[in-house]
Structure 1
Amino acid sequence: MKEQGKDKDQPSCAGCGASLQTQSKDRPGYVPASALDAEAAICQRCFRIRNYNDAVQVSMNNDEFLKLLGGIASTDSLVVHIVDLFDFEGSLISGLQRFVGNNPVLLVVNKIDLLPKGTNYNRLRNWVQRQAKAQGLRTVDVVLCSAKRGMGFDRVVEAVEQLRGQRDVYVVGATNVGKSTLINRLIADYSDLERELTVSRFPGTTLDEIRIPLDDGKSIIDTPGIVYTSRLTELVPRGVLGSLLPDKPIKSLVYQLDAGQTLFFGSLVRFDYTHGANLSFTLYTANAMKVHRTKLERADELYAQHKGVMLAPPSLEELQGIPAWTRHSLRIPRGSESDIFISGLGWIRVNGTNGAQVEVYAPKGVKVLVREALI
């Protein structure tokens, strides 16, 4: 059946109902041009799930995603919300609670393998619970894991089994949080799933979701990743992502700064320590990110002369497509243990409780805030 508002001549995926298109691999309905005219054509994501038990990440914008979420409240489902620990505030779905209604939410915090060795995971879990509550999200459980490394994944499967009962399972999350990796691990952990995935078609659903059948007649429902342009990773060219997205444990950097000193993170972000006593700051960013220190009085001149060259990434050419900086004036309260969080870049731990005043320059729209210290 054609969806309301869809062009009747537009071919649809026989697996998920998405309008087939050949332009963008990371959007719903992508199919190679050579396969577009096949009888009962299916999109690349359905093809890979059906033939390789491999979910492919696709994405959608905020408005499209909120329309999809709007239907969950009327179902009886377990909602698995996957967030990226490295970009926690940037990947948490704002207002999720009002869309899921009374359905239980399992919060899966991925990429814990990126944290330094010796991290206290009980403290970390408590931190996550406080942050989620502050954002208005009610969770029935919080599970820490690394889908890529397999850390804690048995606990994820166990929690899904315990909490879903006879429900479907909706998996939701932003782009680049590891959702597809986790979906693939869930697929592999259900013994009957491979047989189920070889049947002639998936149950047709909505434009942008795929139902992966389970042996009890219920489904894991894989939704596309939501694109938040408040994350630096969504604003930079693809070639810059390697310097932003860590793929191994972070080696934190400690800088001892006097007021009147500046740190440049490539030419993507500028950090000014403007007022306060001598203070150390610990940087938690991808190991590939280049940091340059200078005096505040020289910062403007240095940036003008060396952006995109010494201050890189990105290159001068790549910089042209990134929004201009917005200044964020932040006060670190006296007596607090705080991080300065910059979505998509990481965070800066303020080591000390005497308070401070800083200014952060980041591309317009990027989320920048002061939070309770993670580590």
Structure 2
Amino acid sequence: MDNEIICIGCGAKLQAEDPNKAGFLPTSALNKAIEAEDQEVYCQRCFRLRHYNEIMPVDLNNDDFLALLNSLAEKKALIVNVVDLFDFSNSLLSSLKRFVGNNKFILVGNKFDLFPKNSRQSKIKDWMRQEANRMGLYPEKIFLISAARQKFLDELIEYLNANSQDQDIYFVGMTNVGKSTLINAIIDKMGDIKDLITTSRFPGTTLDRIEIPLDNGHYLVDTPGIMTENQLVAHLDPKDLALVSPKKPLKPATYQLLPGNTLFLGGLGRIDYLKGESTSFTVYAPREVYVHRTKVSNADEFYRKHNGEMLTPPVASKDLPELKGQEFHTTYKSDLLFGGIGFITVPEGCVVKAYTPGQIGLGIRRALI
């Protein structure tokens, strides 16, 4: 009997045997849930996330998640790939074409509200489409939204409504991109149920698919986020994750640099200016990330001495990969990407070396702003 009761927060089957496994609920609470069949029940993990913002570890199996996604090719469905605009290349599901089959899919770029106010939607959408095409992915449409602030959702909801008349809609993506937050926002806009699905800034909140019935007989389906070592969030302690997850639009901070100068983004990013004229670099990063300018010649020693103290974040993450660099030569005004943290706009004609832990999230694009 208890195996048939599902946590409405994360989708896991409720059980009282193992507190380290998904869906755990103390026996007394589980018995109450069995007796009150019509009540909505959250597992202990979801309860603590919702009320105390406290993450409880749980055994996760990525293979189960991938098997669930692989089954999508056999269904008639619209696939919605939710991506983090601040970690686009690592949150885009490059293997999506395998999951999609003959179904259509759309791209939804989350956290658009964190871009500076003068950002042009058309420019960001063009960049997203080009990057997706480069990976062999051809989205039917692209939307920019803010799930957390419930902004820019009307056009997306109208599209989903029109396309859910004869099929279910599956939301897929990497961990921590805001899938569950987006579905909660859609449900909130469409009805009066608030915060049905457990959301948090911690990876791996949704543990099994969650089906939300629509009036037309079809479903919105939230699937578990896929975990990958290529995302910085997979390596960060929750305290550091809170620091690098921006809550307000990123304000540009401009630094005048000469060749031989270094900028640190806390202890999670670094850029060395190697060759070019005296020029300005513009940093777009969360306010909690301490930006420090020094000289390339003493940057290694400065990092060894001050990482985790003056250079924060990290403040709590242990065993992060060593900073590893890659050289870039800008032939036009470019954004150097520090996936999961932010970006730095660099003029054309500069030679720079950018670093992140293990080169995670490093990239370059034509400047969007």
Q: TM-score range by the shorter chain?
A: 0.7 to 0.9
The SS at the match of 1:70 is: helix
| Overall identity of the aligned pairs, in % | 39
Structure 1 position 324, deviation (Å) = 2.3
The reply on whether 1:300 has 2:300 as its aligned counterpart is yes
Counting matched residue pairs gives: 341
- Matched with 1:371 is 365
- Matched with 2:313 is 313
- Matched with 1:69 is 69
Q: How does 1:189-208 map to 2 (within 5 A)?
A: 189-191=189-191, 208=208
**Residues 168 and 157 (structure 1), Cα distance of their counterparts in 2 relative to 1, 3 Å cut:** same
TM-score by length of 1: 0.81
The reply on whether 1:358 has 2:352 as its aligned counterpart is yes
Structure 1 position 13, deviation (Å) = 5.0
The SS at the match of 2:86 is: helix
Deviations 1:279-329 (A, max 9, x none): 3221111121101110111112212222222222223xx35332222x222
Which has the higher mean CA deviation after the structures are superposed, 226-235 or 338-347?
226-235
Aligned match of 2:29 in 30, 35, 59? 35
The reply on whether 1:347 has 2:338 as its aligned counterpart is no
- Matched with 1:247 is 247
The SS at the match of 1:360 is: strand
In structure 2, C-alpha distance between the alignment counterparts of 1:279 and 1:59, rounded to whole Å: 49
The SS at the match of 2:294 is: strand
TM-score by length of 2: 0.82
Whether contact under 8 Å (1:339, 1:370) holds in the other structure is yes
The SS at the match of 1:12 is: helix
- Matched with 2:115 is 115
Where does structure 2 lack aligned partners over 5 or more consecutive residues? 197-206
Which has the higher mean CA deviation after the structures are superposed, 293-302 or 145-154?
145-154
Q: How does 1:227-238 map to 2 (within 5 A)?
A: 227-238=227-238
Structure 1 position 109, deviation (Å) = 1.3
Whether contact under 8 Å (2:33, 2:41) holds in the other structure is no
In structure 2, C-alpha distance between the alignment counterparts of 1:277 and 1:241, rounded to whole Å: 36
Whether contact under 8 Å (1:77, 1:170) holds in the other structure is yes
- Matched with 2:329 is 332
The reply on whether 1:259 has 2:253 as its aligned counterpart is no
In structure 1, C-alpha distance between the alignment counterparts of 2:334 and 2:215, rounded to whole Å: 47
In structure 2, C-alpha distance between the alignment counterparts of 1:97 and 1:46, rounded to whole Å: 36
- Matched with 1:323 is 321
Structure 1 position 259, deviation (Å) = 1.4
CA root-mean-square deviation: 3.1
The reply on whether 1:12 has 2:8 as its aligned counterpart is no
In structure 1, C-alpha distance between the alignment counterparts of 2:136 and 2:146, rounded to whole Å: 25
Structure 1 position 45, deviation (Å) = 6.7
Structure 1 position 77, deviation (Å) = 0.3
In structure 1, C-alpha distance between the alignment counterparts of 2:45 and 2:302, rounded to whole Å: 51
Which has the higher mean CA deviation after the structures are superposed, 207-216 or 238-247?
207-216
Whether contact under 8 Å (2:325, 2:359) holds in the other structure is no
In structure 2, C-alpha distance between the alignment counterparts of 1:133 and 1:46, rounded to whole Å: 42
Structure 1 position 246, deviation (Å) = 0.4
Structure 1 position 223, deviation (Å) = 0.8
In structure 1, C-alpha distance between the alignment counterparts of 2:279 and 2:24, rounded to whole Å: 51
Deviations 1:112-139 (A, max 9, x none): 1101112112222222222222222221
Where does structure 1 lack aligned partners over 5 or more consecutive residues? 2-10, 198-206
Which has the higher mean CA deviation after the structures are superposed, 284-293 or 264-273?
264-273
The SS at the match of 1:71 is: helix
- Matched with 2:170 is 170
**Residues 230 and 61 (structure 1), Cα distance of their counterparts in 2 relative to 1, 3 Å cut:** farther
In structure 1, C-alpha distance between the alignment counterparts of 2:337 and 2:251, rounded to whole Å: 17
Deviations 1:92-116 (A, max 9, x none): 1121112111111121111111011
Whether contact under 8 Å (2:119, 2:368) holds in the other structure is no
The one-letter amino acid paired with 2:131 is Q
**Residues 135 and 61 (structure 1), Cα distance of their counterparts in 2 relative to 1, 3 Å cut:** farther
Whether contact under 8 Å (2:110, 2:178) holds in the other structure is yes
**Residues 302 and 47 (structure 1), Cα distance of their counterparts in 2 relative to 1, 3 Å cut:** closer
Q: How does 1:64-103 map to 2 (within 5 A)?
A: 64-103=64-103
The reply on whether 1:291 has 2:282 as its aligned counterpart is no
**Residues 150 and 17 (structure 1), Cα distance of their counterparts in 2 relative to 1, 3 Å cut:** closer
The one-letter amino acid paired with 2:160 is V
Deviations 1:335-356 (A, max 9, x none): x2322112111111112x22x3
Whether contact under 8 Å (1:78, 1:103) holds in the other structure is yes
- Matched with 1:274 is 274
- Matched with 1:221 is 221
In structure 2, C-alpha distance between the alignment counterparts of 1:338 and 1:239, rounded to whole Å: 31
The one-letter amino acid paired with 2:235 is L
In structure 1, C-alpha distance between the alignment counterparts of 2:114 and 2:66, rounded to whole Å: 30
Deviations 1:7-47 (A, max 9, x none): xxxx63523564747646xx853445653455649862799
**Residues 362 and 123 (structure 1), Cα distance of their counterparts in 2 relative to 1, 3 Å cut:** closer
Aligned match of 1:44 in 31, 36, 42? 42
